């Protein structure tokens, strides 16, 4: 007597949904770019009304919104009107914790085209980005100012989700001099200086980035400076705390060692280095760090790291990990001292 074959229909449906995941991303990008969530702040709208306000095709927009409603992004009522849901609220431009700018960033060709070459990346052992765009990620950004602005806004949007948690999870002593290496437009340093009013800070990044800095607020007046440079070449000396937030994950181990070498040359014996990145947990459970890790693999040859991998790369770079502080956000603070 033969046993009945297992029913795989449900598994097939789940796997098929995974296979079509890029459709979800494309639809999210479309409604974000069109500002649909902002248009729905005044109340329910049909796709036809939204299309008139945004210049889109009403039948096509309806189909996209209907699909997103199956994922609890928007809700369709019995009168074919769409309303905001808690998730859709995060697509608004004016809501705390907005993901509007990050979603616009992730919808750029910078991400889409390399992800379409994932097989080649895994086969070759390096990103196909250079083959697609003719230069590495950050070198390419310098040639496309409009795209660079979208990227800077997107990364700043993600940072706003984490900065307060980072600033309040680490105690900087009074009088501490802090240098944020590759600190972008300074949103984290501004939050740290605001939270710790007896500290001073320097924002260090490329000139085109620090030209857009956000440090000049009433809470930080007189306590900040900016300095342009390349962290592969050198970093400012004289700080008590150096921060590398969302920097090491952008680079391969080889390039990380180049960065850590310049930091090691700048520090003194009592300096602390704070590496702020996700730490990949063990096990098979979903975790955002594992998702971001694959994006880093495909786009920039970077990587998220486990605790052991942080200890290894930082040890090779001349630092010893003293503790790892989790924060209420995705980010952890890996505190190091010169070895």
List alpha helices for 270-306, DSSP H. 288-299
Q: What is the DSSP string of 223-243?
A: SEEEEE--TTT---S--SEEE
What is d(CA 199, CA 220) in angstroms, rounded to the nearest whole number?
A: 9
CA 26, 29, 31, 34 torsion: positive or negative? negative
Using alpha carbons, select from 188, 154, 184 the residue that is nearest to residue 168.
Answer: 188
Please pick, among 18, 165, 249, 287, the residue that the annotation labels catalytic: 249
Residue 203 near residue 189 (C-beta atoms within 8 A): yes
Expressed in angstroms, the distance from the first to the final Cα of the chain is: 68
Name the strand (E) or helix (H) holding 320: strand 319-326
39 is catalytic: no
* Angle of the 58-69 helix axis to the 47-54 helix axis, nearest 10: 120
Provide the strand spans (E) within 102-212. 177-181, 200-205
> Any idea which residues carry the catalytic annotation?
249
């Amino acid at each position: 007597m033969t046993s009945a074959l297992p029913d795989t229909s449900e598994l097939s449906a789940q796997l098929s949904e995974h296979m079509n995941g890029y459709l979800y991303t494309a639809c999210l990008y479309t409604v974000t770019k069109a500002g649909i969530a902002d248009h729905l702040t005044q109340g329910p709208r049909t796709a036809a009304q939204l299309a008139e306000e945004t210049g889109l095709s009403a039948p096509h927009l309806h189909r996209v919104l209907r699909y997103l409603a199956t994922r609890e992004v928007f809700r369709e009522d019995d009168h074919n009107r769409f309303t905001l849901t808690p998730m859709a609220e995060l697509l608004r431009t004016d809501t705390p914790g907005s993901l509007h700018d990050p979603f616009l960033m992730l919808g750029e060709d910078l991400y889409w085209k390399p992800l379409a070459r994932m097989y080649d990346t895994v086969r070759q052992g390096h990103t196909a980005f250079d083959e697609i765009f003719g230069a590495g990620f950050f070198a390419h950004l310098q040639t496309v100012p409009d795209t660079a602005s979208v990227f800077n806004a997107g990364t700043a949007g993600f940072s706003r989700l984490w900065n307060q948690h980072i600033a309040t999870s680490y105690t900087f002593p009074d009088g501490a001099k802090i240098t944020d290496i590759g600190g972008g437009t300074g949103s984290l340093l501004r939050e740290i200086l605001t939270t710790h009013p007896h500290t001073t800070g320097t924002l260090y990044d490329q000139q085109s980035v620090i030209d857009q800095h956000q440090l000049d607020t009433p809470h930080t007046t007189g306590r900040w400076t900016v300095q342009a440079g390349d962290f592969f070449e050198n970093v400012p000396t004289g700080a008590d705390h150096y921060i590398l937030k969302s920097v090491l994950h952008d680079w391969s181990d080889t390039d990380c060692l180049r960065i850590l070498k310049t930091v090691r040359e700048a520090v003194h014996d009592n300096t602390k280095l704070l590496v702020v990145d996700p730490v990949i947990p063990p096990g098979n459970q979903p975790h955002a760090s594992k998702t971001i890790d694959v994006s880093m693999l495909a786009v920039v040859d970077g990587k998220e790291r486990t605790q052991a991998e942080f200890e290894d790369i930082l040890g090779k770079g001349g630092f010893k990990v003293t503790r790892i502080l989790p924060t209420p956000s995705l980010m952890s603070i890996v505190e190091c001292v010169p070895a």
